[in-house]
């Protein structure tokens, strides 16, 4: 491994020691005390590495500022990653494993977890390289502590080499991105950047400036429970009506059957009995018209079932969560051009892909800060199959460095 890769691994392993899963049921911000504690630790780590202008605010946003050392009038750039890990899987007591000189065969972990190139063909791209996984009992935490690590290592390069010219550079580490609250209290005005990038993507070379339009839907179905022996013509089984609701959605438009630019309805939760059943959905689509059509279908199904079973049998509550950042990013072509050039200068061919999810950058873009997403080098996030490749992490670090150099050394239209 290179010297930089060893530094990356040291920092990454240090950060994933902390269980920072966010809590979707919490009413506080950040959602857990552990995230506040991690913010304090992270700020201290930055200080020990020579970072200055470090700040933690009341919401556990950690920011730092590298002032310009050039006379050129160039845009201020920001880099953002999130401190929380997914609450979908155990993130306690992570025990990372390094599989050096990967041979292209199955990687067998605990709990029957097998990372196989038959199931995950991308693994063959990393033959001869190193792969980092958990031991199979936890997720790894590369989403997004790999991003934090890469931002730290990139800016450390400029701290250690003050003779290299650059413009104003800012970094921010945010909590609760995994539960959709990452920038609820983030001030783009205080951050004072002209453009920014989230370092929260996946495979080597991935660059995204498109994401889903997203909505969240709760469906409450009210039944009528009487003794089953005398229920004919009287009972309304809410669980069966719930099954009917689900069956009226397009069968092939689910996450397991879609990819690329295809949208979906995702049934996240189903709880109930004869008397009452609750369904929870997320709705996703890249195209705004198709997105609106999906929401209209949910309303139509609700109306049809109420007509069939009685008014207010089915109650639908639906709210938009976020929108496709492409409509914002397209107004700032330099943001895309800079990233594509930086990735190529790192020796990687950019893979411009839509993000089948949302990032902090989506919300920030609609708040006036164009903020597409750059790869971290990880795969299979949110579970025991998660992995990250140190060689790809090094390329992410070099991409960040290149962005700073490009902005500081070339003339781009002020954003």
Lay out the sheet containing 169-174: strands in order across.
Answer: 55-56, 62-66, 169-174, 77-82, 195-199, 373-374, 206-208, 351-352
Active-site position among 84, 206, 253, 386: 84
The verdict on whether 84 is a catalytic residue reads yes
State whether the Cα torsion 355-356-357-363 is positive or negative. positive
Domains of the chain, CATH where assigned: 3-210+324-409 (3.40.630.10), 215-322 (3.30.70.360)
Classified as helix, coil or strand, 149 is: helix
Helix 142-160 vs helix 3-15: crossing angle, to nearest 10: 130
Which residues are CB-neighbours of 206 under 8 A, at least 6 positions away?
A: 351, 353, 373, 374, 375
Under 8 Å between Cβ of 94 and 375: no
Which helix (H) or strand (E) segment holds residue 336: the answer is helix 333-345
What letter would DSSP give residue 265? E
Q: How far apart are the C-alpha atoms of 94 and 104, rounded to whole Å?
A: 24
What angle (nearest 5°) sits at the alpha carbon of residue 353, between those of residues 350 and 358?
125
Q: How far apart are the C-alpha atoms of 127 and 171, rounded to whole Å?
A: 33
State whether the Cα torsion 299-303-309-311 is positive or negative. positive
The number of C-alpha atoms within 13 Å of 199 and in the hemisphere containing its C-beta is: 34
pLDDT at position 413: 39
Active-site position among 143, 176, 177, 178: 177
Q: How far apart are the C-alpha atoms of 388 and 142, rounded to whole Å?
A: 7
Under 8 Å between Cβ of 294 and 216: no
pLDDT tens by residue, the chain, 415 residues: 899 999 999 999 999 999 999 999 999 999 999 999 999 999 999 999 999 899 999 999 999 999 999 998 999 999 999 999 999 999 999 999 999 999 999 999 999 999 999 999 999 999 999 999 999 999 999 999 999 999 999 999 999 999 999 999 999 999 999 998 999 999 999 999 999 999 999 999 999 999 999 999 999 999 999 999 999 999 999 999 999 999 999 999 999 999 999 999 999 999 999 999 999 999 999 999 999 999 999 999 999 999 999 999 999 999 998 899 999 999 999 999 999 999 999 999 999 999 888 788 999 999 999 999 999 999 999 999 999 999 999 999 999 999 999 999 754 433 3
pLDDT at position 33: 97
């Amino acid at each position: 491994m290179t010297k930089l890769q060893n530094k990356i691994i040291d920092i990454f392993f240090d950060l994933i020691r902390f269980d920072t899963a966010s809590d979707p049921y919490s009413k506080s911000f950040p959602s857990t005390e552990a995230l506040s504690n991690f913010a304090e630790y992270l700020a201290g780590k930055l200080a020990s590495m020579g970072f200055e202008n470090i700040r933690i605010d009341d919401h556990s946003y950690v920011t730092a500022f590298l002032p310009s050392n050039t006379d050129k009038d160039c845009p201020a750039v920001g880099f953002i990653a999130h401190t929380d890990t997914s609450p979908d899987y155990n993130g306690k007591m992570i025990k990372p494993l390094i599989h050096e000189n990967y041979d292209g065969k199955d990687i067998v972990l605990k709990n029957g977890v097998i990372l196989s190139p038959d199931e995950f063909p991308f693994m063959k791209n990393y033959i001869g390289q190193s792969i980092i996984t958990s031991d199979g009992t936890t997720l790894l935490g590369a989403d997004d502590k790999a991003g934090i690590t890469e931002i730290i290592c990139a800016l450390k390069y400029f701290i250690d080499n003050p003779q290299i010219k650059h413009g104003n550079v800012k970094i921010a580490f945010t909590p609760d991105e995994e539960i959709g609250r990452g920038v609820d209290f983030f001030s783009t005005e205080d951050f004072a950047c002209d453009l920014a990038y989230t370092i929260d993507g996946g495979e080597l070379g991935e660059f995204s400036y498109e994401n889903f339009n997203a909505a969240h839907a709760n469906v409450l179905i009210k039944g009528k429970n009487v003794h089953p022996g005398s229920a004919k013509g009287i009972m309304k089984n809410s669980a069966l009506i719930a099954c009917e609701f689900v069956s009226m959605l397009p069968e092939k438009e689910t996450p397991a059957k879609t990819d690329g630019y295809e949208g979906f309805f995702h049934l996240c939760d189903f709880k109930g009995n004869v008397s009452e059943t609750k369904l929870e959905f997320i709705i996703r689509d890249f195209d705004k018209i198709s997105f609106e059509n999906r929401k209209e279908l949910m309303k139509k199904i609700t109306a049809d079932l109420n007509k069939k079973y009685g008014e207010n049998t089915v109650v639908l509550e639906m709210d938009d969560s976020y929108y496709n950042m492409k409509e914002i990013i397209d107004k700032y072509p330099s943001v895309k051009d800079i990233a594509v050039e930086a990735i190529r200068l790192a020796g990687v061919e950019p893979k411009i892909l839509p993000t089948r999810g949302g990032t902090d950058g989506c919300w920030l873009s609609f708040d006036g800060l164009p903020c597409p997403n750059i790869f971290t080098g990880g795969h299979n996030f949110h579970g025991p199959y998660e992995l990250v490749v140190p060689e790809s992490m090094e390329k992410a670090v070099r991409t960040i460095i290149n962005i700073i150099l490009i902005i500081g050394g070339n003339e781009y239209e002020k954003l």
